[in-house]
Amino acid sequence: MLNPYKPENAIITGIKRQTYDVKTYTLSFEKKRKDFSFRPGQFIMLSLFGIGEAPISLCSNPSDKETLAITVRNVGNVTKTLEGLSEGDVVGVRGSYGTSWPLEEVRNKNILIVAGGVGIASLRALIMYVANSRHDYRDVEILYGARKPDDLVFTDEFGHWASMKNTRLLLTVDAVPKGSPWPHNVGVVTTLFEKMQATPDNTVVLTCGPEIMMRFVVKGLIHRSFMEDQIFVSLERRMECGIGVCGHCQLGTKFVCKEGPVFRFPEVKGLPDSML
Amino acid sequence: MLPRILRKDETNLFVKGLLKKYRVLGPVKKDSEFWFDEIRFAEQLTFQYLTTIFPPAQFFFLPTETLFSYEKGLAMQNYERYDRKQLILGIHPCDVHGILVLDKYFLGTYEDPYYLRRRENTIIAALTCQEIGDKCFCESFGTGPDLKGNYDLLFTDLGDRYLVEVGSNAGKQIVQVANLAQATRDDFSEKAERMKRAKSKFKRKVNTENLPEIMLNNLMHDIWIELDKKELSCGNCSLACPTCFCFSIHDVVDLTLKGGRRWREWDSCQLLEYAEVAMGGNFRKLRGARCRHWMNCKLCYVKLRHGVFGCVGCGRCIRDCPVDIDITEVARRVRGE
């Protein structure tokens, strides 16, 4: 019988520093797993024996069958320990779990991405997925914000994203420390709405970041005549099992690990213990 | 199969027969209360009991359990062996329904192998209720005092004998081996009469009509503010609830530091850390929010997800609450009664 709690070993084959507290880890399963695949927006349970597990979004190109990647900010027990590991070290992986970004629904549509901080990780997987067959989608506009310039991740990919056909990238930070060069917008991510080209017409919105940010993103977009069901949000909750049993991620009637993390906004609107 | 009759003076003999074949779990006296324990000899067992201290969920979903062990960085499969069948004797209908709620979670999209194996290896020999405790309200949720289906055997006390209804092949085998006599139509009428009498004894009631919708429409009801001040966040209610399925997962390292195991433990949404995330974020920081989640889980969420209420009316949470929070009163208040 399959033990869903037992992780598979994966070797860290690459580590790339993104910011002072964020790194991207490339993982490759010790034993090749033919059954492993994922859709952008899904997550894995990252497992470190003796420490525990944490749910982490996959950020790599889903068409890459050899490796997968996660971009992790070191803020908890598992992620802080992960930060100390090196290439060649082994971690455990369970998954992939949860819902994905609405890959079928965004075909032949404009895509508006609104991301905050390390929340862009699962959207980076989506951007790569879209780039794999760019002609299947219409205009892509990426609004990306962080607290400070040095909190932005995937900065070396910005040039590539912006150069993709019919793609715009708008950056913003909440504040710029004195002396830092910053040619872009200053203000929370919703201040970019004034500069964006996306309209409600034929557009799907995908947003991921702190819940308070998504609350104002949704509010701002509704104000700009977007409809609630055009908007998809990706939520964070405590998860211990990742498979809809342990209860920790419950949000009203939903289990975020199972019916989420990606939800169409009206599904989670007004639920208790949430800011949405 | 037609129901059978077990004469009370033959009960011990019947139980002795079961003990030869099964690990028998049943209600036994523990100080002034009762609890489920492994029965070693027939005389330990009592059928005259009100709600046990803990629900029998503990025999399927253990309070703590190893999920796997690991050695030198490799996770190892380690199932305990459950070759011997277990039989729960004298379990009340509310507690049987509690197990049915657990089934929805542990046997969902991903089957929990530990729970599944015990569930498959357990025979349920239930007992209808005739003495109704002052905290009991199972009738409101349709989870007692009688039981329709979901049992292997169902006992009903008829004074000098038990009516034994058979609900499965496993149950059939047991009554055949024990060579129990067939019941008559009179036995059945007597059961119906006794059930009717039992139903009239309930003092506590919950109006379940549209209850999930009413709960969902009252997330900002004053009662949640009152409960925020009142509740202690002790988690007693979860410990006592037959449908609480939550658990947390922990790692423990061997002294050699080369291996260890990952294990789980019952958890409660009433505890502060339950919904905590990195950087001190907590989606249910307030006690009132945690209490609201618990009440809604029982009276709303499970029903909307799975079609059955997460409350089976056993009354244990009322009995065990140190500050007298009463789920039936919460339901009444939210409804506006």
Closest partner residue to B275 (CB to CB) among A79, A238, A252 is A238
What is the value of ipTM here, to two decimals?
0.94
State the best of B61, B72, B227, B277 to mutate against chain A, taking most chain A CBs within 10 Å. B277
Q: Give the model's pLDDT for residue A116.
A: 98
Q: Cβ separation of A90 and B73 shorter than 8 Å?
A: yes
φ and ψ at residue B322, rounded to 5 degrees? -70, -15
How far from chain centre, in Å, is Cα B120?
16
Considering just the CA atoms, what is the radius of gyration of chain A in Å?
18
List, by residue range, all CATH 2.40.30.10 domains of chain A. 8-97
Minimum CA–CA partner of A51 in chain B: B251
Sign of CA dihedral B238, B80, A96, A80: positive
Q: How many CA atoms lie within 13 A of A174 on its CB side?
A: 7
Residues 6+ apart with CB under 8 A from B13: B42
Q: Please name the fold of domain A8-97.
A: Elongation Factor Tu (Ef-tu); domain 3 (2.40.30)
DSSP states of B127-157 as a string? E---S--TT--HHHHT--SS--SS-SEEEEE
> Which residues in chain B touch residue A50, judged by CB atoms under 8 angstroms apart?
251, 253, 257, 260
Closest partner residue to B68 (CB to CB) among A5, A248, A253 is A5
Q: Give the model's pLDDT for residue B244.
A: 98
Q: Cβ separation of A92 and B75 shorter than 8 Å?
A: yes
Q: Give the model's pLDDT for residue B279.
A: 87
Minimum CA–CA partner of B279 in chain A: A75
Exposed, middle or buried by CB within 10 Å (0-12, 13-18, 19+), for A216? middle
Q: Give the model's pLDDT for residue B81.
A: 58
Closest partner residue to A6 (CB to CB) among B68, B248, B279 is B68
Mean pLDDT of chain A: 96
* B135 close contact with A: CB closer than 8 A: no
Residue B156 CA to residue B129 CA, distance in Å, equals 8
Give the pair of three-digit tokens for residue B25.
């779990």
Q: Give the model's pLDDT for residue B80.
A: 59
Strand partners, A173: A146, A186
Q: Give the model's pLDDT for residue B112.
A: 94
Residue A236 CA to residue A252 CA, distance in Å, equals 14
- Rounded to a whole number, what is the distance in Å from the CA of B276 to chain A's nearest CA? 6
Closest partner residue to B246 (CB to CB) among A52, A92, A246 is A246
Stretch (H or E) spanning B161: strand B161-166
State the best of A77, A96, A238, A267 to mutate against chain B, taking most chain B CBs within 10 Å. A238
Put simply, whether the predicted model's pTM sits higher than 0.80 gets the answer: yes
List, by residue range, all CATH 3.40.50.80 domains of chain A. 110-234
Per-residue pLDDT tens digits of chain B, which is 337 residues long: 789 999 999 999 999 999 999 999 999 998 999 999 999 999 999 999 999 999 999 999 999 999 999 987 888 766 555 557 999 999 999 999 999 999 999 999 899 999 999 999 999 999 999 999 999 999 999 999 999 999 999 999 999 999 999 999 999 999 999 999 999 999 999 999 999 999 999 999 999 999 999 999 999 999 999 999 999 999 999 999 999 999 999 999 999 888 999 999 999 999 999 999 988 899 999 999 999 999 999 999 999 999 999 999 999 999 999 999 999 999 999 999 8
Q: What is residue A31's three-state secondary structure? A: coil
Minimum CA–CA partner of B72 in chain A: A49
> Which residues in chain B touch residue A272, judged by CB atoms under 8 angstroms apart?
219, 289, 292-293, 296
How far from chain centre, in Å, is Cα B225?
29
Exposed, middle or buried by CB within 10 Å (0-12, 13-18, 19+), for A97? buried
Start-to-end CA distance of chain B, whole Å, equals: 45
Q: Give the model's pLDDT for residue B156.
A: 98
Residues 6+ apart with CB under 8 A from A257: A55, A97, A98, A237, A239, A241, A242, A243, A244, A249
Q: Cβ separation of B275 and A50 shorter than 8 Å?
A: no
Per-residue pLDDT band at A35 (split at 50, 70, 90): confident
Per-residue pLDDT tens digits for A108-132: 999 999 999 999 999 999 999 999 9
Residue B234 CA to residue B63 CA, distance in Å, equals 17
Q: In A63-210, which ranges are continuous DSSP H helix? A: 77-83, 121-132, 158-163
Q: What angle do CA A192, A198, A202 make, to 5 degrees?
A: 150
> Which residues in chain A touch residue B109, judged by CB atoms under 8 angstroms apart?
243-244, 258
Residue A32 CA to residue B4 CA, distance in Å, equals 57
Find out whether A183 and A172 touch, Cβ atoms under 8 Å.
no
Exposed, middle or buried by CB within 10 Å (0-12, 13-18, 19+), for A266? exposed
Three-state secondary structure of B35-71 = EEEECCCHHHCCCCCCCCCCCHHHHCCCCEEEEEEEE
Q: Give the model's pLDDT for residue B72.
A: 79
Q: Cβ separation of A50 and B246 shorter than 8 Å?
A: no
Taking residues A173-202, what's their average pLDDT?
A: 96
Minimum CA–CA partner of B260 in chain A: A50
Find out whether A97 and A44 touch, Cβ atoms under 8 Å.
yes
Q: Cβ separation of B277 and A51 shorter than 8 Å?
A: no
Per-residue pLDDT tens digits for A37-76: 999 999 999 999 999 999 999 999 999 999 999 999 999 9
State the best of A3, A46, A51 to mutate against chain B, taking most chain B CBs within 10 Å. A3
Closest partner residue to A50 (CB to CB) among B253, B269, B279 is B253
> Which residues in chain B touch residue A258, judged by CB atoms under 8 angstroms apart?
109
Residue A196 CA to residue B296 CA, distance in Å, equals 41
Q: What is residue A152's three-state secondary structure? A: coil
State the best of B62, B262, B297 to mutate against chain A, taking most chain A CBs within 10 Å. B262
Q: Which of B3, B9, B15 is nearest to B178 (CA)?
A: B15
Per-residue pLDDT tens digits for A132-162: 999 999 999 999 999 999 999 999 999 999 9
CATH of A110-234, picked from 3.10.450.50, 3.40.50.80, 3.40.50.620, 3.90.1580.10, is 3.40.50.80
